[in-house]
Structure 1
Amino acid sequence: MKHVLLPTDFSENSYNAIKYALQLLSEEECTFHLLNTYTPILYDNEYLVYSATQPTLTEIYKNNSLRGLNRILKRIKKNFPNEKHEFKRISSFNMLSDEIKEQVKEKEIDLVVMGTKGATNADEILLGTHTVHAIKKTKCPLLAIPAHFEYRPPKEILFPSDYETDLPPLLEILQEIAARNASNIHILHVYFGPSLSEEQEKRKKALGEFFKDQGHHFYSIADKSVPQAIYDFQEDNEIDLLVMINNKHSFFENLLFRPVVNEIGFHVKTPFLVIPSGKKR
C-alpha cells in the first residue's frame, strides 16, 4: 500500500492537487495523509504580545485546522469515493516544509503531492516558495500541480537528463506511472560543445534498459539553456508530466535554486514530478 502526503491550505489550488492525486492513483491501494500546518500565521507581533494572556489561541487555530481537514475529507468522499483509498488527517503547529520532512520519515511516505503557485498567480508559474523549500528538504518524490490544471492521464512524459548521475532507486515511481498509463517517455538531453563522455553514454544506455518495457525516445538539443529547451519541447509536443531528478550537482540545482534568466523563467505548465537522487529510506 502506498502512503501519499497531501499538504493543503484549504485553497482551491491545493484541492486541485488533491484531485489530481486521487485520479492518478485511483487503481492503487493508498493511504492519503491530509496535512495542514498553521504556524506561519501565528508568528506576528500580535501573537507574541498576547499569547501569554490568551492561552487558548493555539487551540483556536488547531480547531480551525481540524475543521478545515474535515471539510476537505467530506468533499473527497462525496466526489471521489474509492474503496481502495484510506484517509488520515494531520494538523500541525509547524512550518510546512519542516512538517513535510518529518511526516515523510515518520509515515514512510512514498509520494508528496501539492499545488504550487508563484507570485504572479498565473496558470504558468515559476515554482512557488513553499514548493521549492519542500523539494529541497523532502527525501521522497514530490509532485507539484499547477493551479487550474485539469487531470489527464500522463500519456506523454518529458524527462530531461544530463546523464551525470546514476539512476536513483526512487526512479521506480516513474516506471510505475509509465507502465500504468502506457506512457511514452521523452528523454531530453541538452548539451553545449563536446558530445557525451563515456560515463554519460553508459548512463544513457542504462536509462534505455531501465525503461525497456515502456515506450521511450531519446532527444538531444544543442546550444540552448535547459529552461528554453524544456519550454520549446513542450510547445512542440503535448506533454502531460515533466519529471526531473533532484541532484545538487546537476542542472536541476541551477534551474530551481539559483536565479533563472528572467526573460525565459521556468514556467510549469504541466504537473512536475521531482525525484530525489538519494537512496530509499
Structure 2
Amino acid sequence: MQHILLPTDFSENSWNAITYALQLYKDQKCIFTLLNIYTPVIYHLEATQTSSAQFALQDAMSEVSTIGLDNLQKRIDKKFNNPNHTFSHISAFNTLTNEINELYKDKVIDIIIMGTQGASGIKEILFGSNTMHIINHAKCPVLAIPNNFDFETPHGILFPSDYNIAFQEKHVQHTLDIANQFHARINILHVLHGNKLSEKQELNRRKLEAYFKKATLLFHTIENKNIPEAITEFQLKARINLLVMLNNKHSFFENLFFKSNIKHIGFHLNIPFLVIPSRT
C-alpha cells in the first residue's frame, strides 16, 4: 500500500496537485497524508519567543490550519469519495523540510506529490522555493505538478540520463510501477557529447535496460545539444506527459537546476516531473 504525502498551503495550485494524485492512484489502495505547516513570523523574533502574544498567534494559526485541513477533506470527499483511499491529517508548527524529514524517518511516506508554485504564485521561476528545496533535499521521490495541469493518463514517459549513475532498483521502481499500470512507453534520452559512451556508461545503460525489461522501452540519442533544449524538443515531439529524472549530486541534473539561473535556462516545465533521489 502506497503512503503518499500531499503538502498543501490551501492554494489552488496545491489542490491541483492533490487532484492529480487522487486520479493517478485511483485504482490503488493508498494512504494519503494531507500536510499543512505553519510558522508564524513572530516565531523568528528572539525578543518575543516567550511572550503570550506569540503563543496566542501560534494557537490561532493552529486552528486555521486544522480547519483548513478539515475543509480540504470535505472537498476531496465531495469530488472523489474513493473507497481505495484512506486519509490522515497533519497540522505542524514546523518548516516544510524538517517536517518531511521527520515523516520520512518515521516511514510515513513513500512519495511526495506537490504543486510547483505556492500561494505566492511566482511565475518567473521554474518552481516555487518550497518545491525546489524539497526536490533537492527529500530522501524519497517527489512528483511536482505544474500549475493548471489537468490530469492526463501518463502514456509517454521521458527519462533523460547521462548514464553516469550505477542504477539500482529503487531508482526505477516508481517509474516502472506507473508504466506498468498505465501501459506507458518509457523513453530513455541521452544527450551525447563526443564519439561514444564510455565503458562505465554502457554498463549503466545495460543495467537500466534490464530493470525496465518488462516495460515498453525505447532508447534515444541526441548529439551536441544542451540538455534543456533536448528535453523540451523531445517532450513536444513525442507527446510526453511525465518527465522523470534522477537527482544525483555532481550530475547534469544538479547542473541543470542548481548551478544555473533557472529564470534564464529556457527550460519551462509544463508536464508532471518525477524526481528520484539517488541516495536515501
Normalising TM by the smaller chain, what interval?
over 0.9
Contact 2:126 2:263 in 1 (8 A): no
The normalised TM-score by structure 1 is 0.92
Cα distance 1:82–1:256, how it changes in 2: closer, same or farther (>3 A)?
Answer: same
Provide the alpha-carbon RMSD of the alignment.
Answer: 2.0
Name which of structure 1's ranges 99-108 and 259-268 shifts more when overlaid on structure 2: 259-268
| Mapped pair 1:278 → 2:265 | no
Deviation at 1:262, TM superposition (A): 5.2
Cα distance 1:270–1:57, how it changes in 2: closer, same or farther (>3 A)?
Answer: same
How far apart, in 2, do the equivalents of 1:257 and 1:10 lie? 28
How far apart, in 2, do the equivalents of 1:128 and 1:174 lie? 24
Deviations 1:80-112 (A, max 9, x none): 111111000000111112211211221341110
2:208 maps to 207
1:151 maps to 151
Q: 1:18-167 maps to which residues of 2 (within 5 A)?
A: 18-39=18-39, 41-43=41-43, 49=48, 52-54=51-53, 55-117=55-117, 121-122=122-123, 126-167=126-167
Deviations 1:4-31 (A, max 9, x none): 0000000000010000000001111111
How far apart, in 2, do the equivalents of 1:173 and 1:109 lie? 13
Deviation at 1:53, TM superposition (A): 3.2
State percent identity of aligned pairs.
47
1:184 maps to 185
How far apart, in 1, do the equivalents of 2:190 and 2:87 lie? 39
Cα distance 1:234–1:260, how it changes in 2: closer, same or farther (>3 A)?
Answer: farther
How far apart, in 2, do the equivalents of 1:61 and 1:42 lie? 12
Deviation at 1:235, TM superposition (A): 2.4
Contact 2:121 2:128 in 1 (8 A): no
Deviation at 1:128, TM superposition (A): 2.0
Contact 1:112 1:140 in 2 (8 A): yes
2:174 maps to 173
Cα distance 1:206–1:58, how it changes in 2: closer, same or farther (>3 A)?
Answer: same
Deviation at 1:114, TM superposition (A): 0.3
The gaps in structure 2 that reach 5 residues or longer are none
Contact 2:36 2:92 in 1 (8 A): yes
Cα distance 1:115–1:202, how it changes in 2: closer, same or farther (>3 A)?
Answer: same
The gaps in structure 1 that reach 5 residues or longer are none
Deviation at 1:264, TM superposition (A): 3.5
How far apart, in 1, do the equivalents of 2:44 and 2:167 lie? 44
- Size of the aligned set, in residue pairs, is 277
